[in-house]
Amino acid sequence: MGNEQSLLFSRVLTELTLSFHIIFATIGVGVPLLIMIAQWAGIKKQDEHYILLARRWTRGYAVTVAVGVVTGTIIGLQLSLLWPTFMRAAGNVIALPLFMETFAFFLEAIFLGIYLYTWDRFENQRKHLLLLVPVAIGAGFSAVFITIVNAFMNTPRGFAVLNGELVNIKPLEAMFNPAVPTKAAHVLLTAFMTASFILASIAAFHLLRGSNHAYHKKALLLTMKLGAVFAIASAVLGDFSGKFLAEYQPEKLAAAEWHLETTSEAPLVMFGVLDDDGKVRGALTIPFALSILAFGSPNAEVAGLDQFPVEEHPPLYIHYLFDSMVIIGVFLMCLSLIYLIGMRFKWKAVSSKWFTGLIVLGGPLAIVAIEAGWWFTEVGRQPWILRGVMKTAESATVSPNVDVMLYLFTVLYVFLAIGCVGVLLRMFKKNPIEKELSDRALLRKGEMA
């Protein structure tokens, strides 16, 4: 196998592992916060439904975390196995957040172990809830630290290149590079948002299947409230991310928007196709919108792709990825707001079958948006692995057999996916909420007698 082949398979394997890991990572970051809110509501209101909600979410969470841990371990090692030249450079400059991430993992893993195995062990339930705080903090910080590494790949800072050597290294400057604030905030908020809509999907699914239990209704209302808040926040941060791109990575924004020529009063292009002459066809254009997205003013001049050498243009298909993410974001925001308003004013429509069905779709759609968002940022950085410093093609491993590894890991991920879904389904089918509630009532009676 030649080096070209190694490069191709290294790319595919990296894409596959990251795309798989990110599903579980996102759940891992978002769900602890939701469990915390539900358990807190349960303690405050002395409502057993919320406590059980937290408890059942925790059980599911324990399974997804395990898959997150193993796939995360895989990607952590694969980065060195597949991109040794890149990791050598990264090790010199951006190792600090990567290293700090392991402490976040430690914190999360330790307290998750404790939290999982200490239900009902404390007299005071608040103490048990307190154990979840380090879990949520650890998960949040691990996302922030890894996103810092990724931000560095987009806006490398804190070093100079002299005769091909990295010199004058400043770890803190590398760590606090300009992409960090918008990226880390958007990643965190979209994780909370995704977790809310996934859990809302589950509640909606039970209602759609004919359950009329107050438990599911409370779950749905809670998750939709949180979903609405996080969806709005994500969209605001997404707007900031666009402004960040306009300033620091204009070629990515131009490619995403098919903004081919530099203009002021730039319109936003949605959907459409590019024909053979590079003309946009069948697109919906919103006047001034791109100038507003990029600089907050309808008259601002936005750099087009013509400003950049052709060999540094990112692939133009990222346009569709960007569109998918934004549309899903707007859709979920509207869906949750309509639901909340509808519940407030007792509209029949929001409890109807078709509306509940839309909510069921919400969770999977949020995951699609996460995938689209990451593919958009990562593919939009190409051909660079470190923007302006190192090309992806120069940094892949030269070792043969990457193709065999790709097949092996594909089989592994299929097995993990099937196992994970299978266990989750079984776990909740075997122990539906009605059964668990009555079991617990019996248990209490037994204790009193």
Partner 1 sequence: MTIEVLGAFVLWLFLFGYIYLGSVEFGAGFYNAYGKMTGKEKLLENVIQRYLSPVWEVTNVFLVFFFVGIVGFFPETAYFYGTTLLIPVSIALIFLSIRGAYYAFAVYGLSNPGFTYVYGLTGLVLPASLSIVLAISAGGFIEMGESGPMLSSRSLLLSPFAWSVVALSLVSVLYISAVFLTWYAAYAKDVKAEFLLRKYALIFALPAIAGAGVFLVLMQGHNREIFSRLLEYWWIFGLSLLFFLGTVYFIWKKTRYGLAVIFSALQYFSAFMGYGIAHYPYLLYPHLTLFDGFTNRAMAVALITAFILGLLLLIPSIYLLLRLFLFDKQYVAGKRINHA
Site residues (CB under 6 A) for ligand HDD? 154, 179, 183, 186-187, 190, 193-194, 234-235, 238-239, 241-242, 244-245, 252, 325-326, 328-330, 366, 369-370, 373-374, 377
Candidate residues 347, 427, 437, 440; the one interacting with partner 1 per rule CB under 8 A: 427
The number of beta carbons lying within 10 Å of the beta carbon of residue 261 is 12
8 A C-beta contact, residue 145 and residue 97: yes
| Residue 239: closest CA among 318, 186, 177, 193 | 186
Task: Give yes or no for residue 414 binding partner 1 (CB under 8 A).
Answer: no
Concatenated DSSP letters of 356-421: HHHHHHHHHHHHHHHHHHHHHHHHHHTTEEETTTEEHHHHS---S-HHHHHHHHHHHHHHHHHHHH
Candidate residues 4, 45, 73, 296; the one interacting with partner 1 per rule CB under 8 A: 73
Alpha carbon distance 119, 57 (integer Å): 13
Residue 324 interacting partner from ligand HDD, ligand HEM, partner 1, none (CB closer than 5 to 8 Å by kind) = none
Beta bridge partners of 5: none
CA angle, 368 then 374 then 377, to 5° = 140
Between 175 and 370, name the residue whose CB sits nearer to ligand HDD. Answer: 370
- Contact flags string 141-180 toward partner 1, x per CB under 8 A: -------------------------x--xxxx--------
HSE of 215, CA atoms in CB hemisphere, 13 A: 22
SS3 274: strand
Phi, psi (degrees; rounded to nearest 5) at 167: -130, 170
Between 240 and 409, name the residue whose CB sits nearer to ligand HDD. Answer: 240
Who's near 210: CB < 8 A, 6+ residues apart? Answer: none
Task: Give yes or no for residue 423 binding partner 1 (CB under 8 A).
Answer: yes
Alpha carbon distance 158, 252 (integer Å): 22
Q: How far is the CB of 246 from ligand HDD (least distance, A)?
A: 9
Task: Give yes or no for residue 30 binding ligand HEM (CB under 6 A).
Answer: no
Task: Give yes or no for residue 286 binding partner 1 (CB under 8 A).
Answer: no
Residue 136 interacting partner from ligand HDD, ligand HEM, partner 1, none (CB closer than 5 to 8 Å by kind) = none
Q: How far is the CB of 75 from ligand HEM (least distance, A)?
A: 4
Q: How far is the CB of 420 from ligand HEM (least distance, A)?
A: 13
Beta strands, E only, 234-360: 263-264, 268-270, 273-274, 280-281, 284-286, 301-302
Candidate residues 7, 50, 53, 58; the one interacting with partner 1 per rule CB under 8 A: 58
Q: How many residues bind partner 1 (CB under 8 A)?
A: 79
SS3 286: strand
Between 185 and 433, name the residue whose CB sits nearer to ligand HDD. Answer: 185
Q: How many residues bind ligand HEM (CB under 6 A)?
A: 39
Binding site for ligand HEM (CB under 6 A): 11, 14-15, 18-19, 21-22, 25, 28-29, 65, 68-69, 72-73, 75-76, 79, 83, 86, 105, 108-109, 139, 142-143, 146-147, 149-150, 153, 187, 374-375, 378-379, 382, 385, 392
